[in-house]
Structure 1
């Protein structure tokens, strides 16, 4: 059963990467405007991952938070600070995007967030959480492994950017993956990580454009520090007693097969 579960996780992950690559190759033949092309790819990927989950892996996705608004804000304090800082620097920095184009960028960021959070936090993290629930520190392993797959996925950007920039992006996305995973586990709602992811990508699009996945001026050491800080945040919010609480909240719903909060 364990081998089947992990094989399924790898299959969904690699299948998604292949779908992205094929869609990119096919759409490039039509010489569409860059933003239009990216929007079409992400619309397809959202449909793809929803279909894979509905008719294939049957991952249990959670949308409605099961904690108070105050608790949701408390456990998301650090991500809220990071996103706020990113948006502030985006609006302060000079950019020439027209209003219509900015709306397109926002739509793209939202689509990317829906696809990637459904895949990495909803399906992969959820499946790892179930598979590792009996292991010591299984919650931490699930968070770390899902974040690793999330970060390694961005190595596909080597097709259009340098290895140095890609390395910075891979480290940065690993740190972000830790924060998003903790947000999902502590709120039991994909809405929070989706919102964070969309806002983070939108601010990046405004500052760096569509073709650059990371700021080429960012030293690798800075991203290493960000990984350390995100790791400390994850360890702080996922202490042993919190890990048991997470498992109780996620596993109980799956085992009883109830409807309502889980979809």
Structure 2
């Protein structure tokens, strides 16, 4: 056996064991590399107008392309990529659709509260594209790789849900470094933790990672556009309750999470 093969096997064995601390290591490594590579686009950012379609490309899409490629490479190195997008072995229950409706319903409402006359079509289109990259990278990491690590360690699903949501929320704590206020960041952490729980439930009930990715992809663009370019209407006031609805849904539904392993309900999740 060559040294490269032995190293590859050691690498795979390390991550296959799973565990919450390996999930945290992965998230920190991703966040560090994502922010490091984002620095490469700072010269471009100086030449684009704030709020323009070009700014969305430089500030969000290009760094997320790098981040997504890093995550794909990591998953491929372990032979996990295909299985992450395979049918889930952990089944869902009908009540979990409440989380999907809470997120998707308000995302659709926000689409009707955007002042399209005041915002360039290119900005809207570019934000929708950015949403796909945001959803892919963040869901592949937290609902794909992190959940795989947690399940490999044999944790109960309530632990999987809470830890994966906490890792997802923790990623957003770095917004403090961008000048975001402590109060705004604290609320964002509460919201993203609840949103992470809703995405976990979406994964469970839909049975495939692609659906949380698409659900997440519809969230960030609609929140930004409806906040920055909102029309003055009663519908806008209702859509503005979306974040609170997600928090209530996430924290309310988490208490009902149970282990539901297809074909082997008594076998610990992640133990092979």
Partner residue in 1 for 2:127:
105
Partner of 2:225: 206
TM-score, L = length of structure 1: 0.75
Partner of 2:260: 244
Aligned residues between the structures: 233
Question: What is the Cα deviation at residue 223 of structure 1?
Answer: 6.7
1:181 deviates by 0.6
Say yes or no: does 1:232 pair with 2:255.
no
How much does 1:226 deviate?
Answer: 4.9
Contact persistence 1:66–1:187 (CA under 8 A): no
Say which of 44, 53, 66 aligns to 2:75: 53
Q: Is the 8 A contact 1:113 1:195 kept in 2?
A: yes
Q: Is the 8 A contact 2:153 2:271 kept in 1?
A: no
For residues 160 and 269 of structure 2, the distance between their equivalents in structure 1, rounded to whole angstroms, comes to 18
Q: Please provide the CA RMSD for this pair.
A: 3.3
Q: Which has the higher contact order (CA 8 A, sep 6+)?
A: 2
Aligned match of 1:84 in 100, 105, 111? 105
Task: Say whether 1:196 aligns with 2:240.
Answer: no
Q: For residue 64 of structure 1, report the CA deviation from its aligned partner.
A: 4.4
SS in 1 for 2:18: helix
Q: 1:99 to 1:67 in 2, by over 3 A?
A: farther
2:4 corresponds in structure 1 to none
TM-score by length of 2: 0.73
Deviation at 1:247, TM superposition (A): 8.6
Per mean C-alpha deviation after superposition, the further-off stretch among 3-12 and 186-195 is: 3-12
Partner SS state of residue 76, structure 1: helix
Q: Structure 1 residues 127, 248: CA separation in 2 closer, same or farther (over 3 Å shift)?
A: farther
Q: Is the CA contact 2:151–2:269 (under 8 Å) kept in the aligned structure 1?
A: no
